[in-house]
């Protein structure tokens, strides 16, 4: 594992798995449609987390490799998806024979990575014509009242705990489009609204690197999250919360 890697999610792996919604099924339908049935020998999921993408790949490939450097997250992934091959290493330092992979995915994780190094690795690993699928979403949006509560946290106590790389927003899209040795196949934004209870939406923020990091500095983290949940519940006025988690997918094909 790279000496520069610092785990940020392992302590919240349970919350990550429980409260992070799965990706919309249509996203994987588009990805798989780009990979012919006769070329599904091996897939690699980079920055796999607890396996939200890996789970969708396992049934379609002879071998699905999940690359996750955080020990806590990787342990949860192994527990959730025993059929996957888990490598506890960064995407930059992962080793894989050249031209041995049919699909590489990166879901909501590219912002943590060194773009040039990862793109070079992916180009080396993929067979000619192989697919590189990158998908991500901006910060989730709910109702104006709920969003105002979250924004106050992002601008206040959470701000010092937010890694600057999380501000890369749309940069990843331009970088992927410009990746050397690939051609654009498809770019699609999927409408995806998940209806969540106040507790589940609090769970989402508990699973973030910055929310969980800040809470760990407090004498009583559970009281903090409980108060936060009460504020969400009051703002929702007894209703469920519609949360916009719409991702953008960019599919690239290796020359």
Structure confidence by residue, pLDDT tens digits, 185-215 = 999 999 999 999 999 999 999 999 999 999 9
Residue 183 has pLDDT above 50, yes or no: yes
Per-residue pLDDT, averaged over 161-172, amounts to 85
Contacts of 128 (CB under 8 A, 6+ apart): 99, 254, 255
Query: 27 lies in a domain?
Result: yes
Q: Is 190 exposed, middle or buried (0-12, 13-18, 19+ CB in 10 A)?
A: middle
pLDDT of residue 10: 62
Q: How many helices (H) and strands (E) does the chain have?
A: 10, 9
Query: 181 lies in a domain?
Result: yes
Query: 4 lies in a domain?
Result: no
Q: State the Cα torsion 194-208-59-244 to the nearest 10°.
A: 20
CA dist 252 and 132 (Å) reads 5
pLDDT of residue 12: 76
pLDDT of residue 8: 67
CA dist 213 and 144 (Å) reads 25
CA dist 55 and 84 (Å) reads 8
- Per the structure, how many domains does the chain have? 1
CA dist 163 and 152 (Å) reads 17
What's the angle, vertex CA 21, arms to CA 201 and CA 104, rounded to 5?
Answer: 140
Query: 220 lies in a domain?
Result: no
Give 167's pLDDT tier (boundaries 50, 70, 90): confident
Query: 1 lies in a domain?
Result: no
pLDDT of residue 11: 76
**By the 8 A CB rule, do 47 and 91 touch?**
yes
pLDDT digits (tens, 9 = 90+) for 94-151: 999 999 999 999 999 999 999 999 999 999 999 999 999 999 998 999 999 999 999 9
CA dist 11 and 73 (Å) reads 8
CA dist 202 and 207 (Å) reads 9
Give 1's pLDDT tier (boundaries 50, 70, 90): very low
- Give the three-state DSSP class for 85: strand
**Residue 51's domain spans which residues?**
10-139+165-194+244-254
Query: 102 lies in a domain?
Result: yes
Residue 169 has pLDDT above 80, yes or no: no
Query: 86 lies in a domain?
Result: yes
pLDDT digits (tens, 9 = 90+) for 6-54: 666 767 788 889 999 999 999 999 999 999 999 999 999 999 999 999 9
The CATH number for 248's domain is: 3.40.50.150
pLDDT of residue 82: 97
Quick one: which of 150, 162, 143, 157 has its CA closest to 221? Answer: 157
Whole-model pTM?
Answer: 0.94
Q: What is the mean pLDDT of the chain?
A: 94
Query: 209 lies in a domain?
Result: no
pLDDT of residue 3: 44
């Amino acid at each position: 594992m790279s000496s520069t890697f610092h785990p940020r999610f392992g302590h919240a792996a349970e919350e990550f798995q429980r409260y992070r919604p799965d990706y919309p099924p249509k996203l994987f339908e588009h990805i798989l449609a780009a990979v012919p049935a006769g070329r599904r020998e091996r897939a690699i999921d980079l920055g796999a987390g607890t396996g939200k993408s890996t789970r969708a790949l396992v049934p379609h490939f002879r071998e699905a490799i999940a690359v996750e450097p955080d020990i806590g997250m990787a342990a949860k992934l192994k527990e959730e998806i025993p059929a996957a091959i888990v490598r506890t290493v960064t995407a930059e330092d992962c080793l894989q024979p050249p031209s041995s992979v049919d699909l590489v995915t990166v879901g909501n994780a590219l912002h943590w990575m060194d773009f040039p190094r990862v793109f070079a690795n992916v180009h080396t690993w993929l067979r000619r014509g192989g697919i590189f699928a990158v998908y991500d979403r901006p910060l989730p949006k709910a109702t104006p009242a709920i969003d105002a509560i979250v924004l106050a946290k992002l601008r206040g106590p959470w701000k010092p705990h937010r890694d600057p790389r999380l501000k890369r927003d749309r940069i990843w899209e331009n970088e992927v489009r410009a990746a050397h040795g690939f051609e654009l196949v498809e770019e699609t934004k999927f409408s995806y609204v998940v209806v969540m209870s106040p507790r589940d939406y609090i769970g989402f923020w508990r699973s973030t690197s910055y929310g969980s990091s800040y809470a760990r500095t407090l004498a009583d983290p559970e009281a903090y999250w409980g108060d936060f949940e009460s504020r969400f519940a009051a703002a929702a006025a007894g209703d469920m919360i519609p949360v916009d988690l719409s991702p953008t997918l960019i599919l690239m094909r290796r020359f």
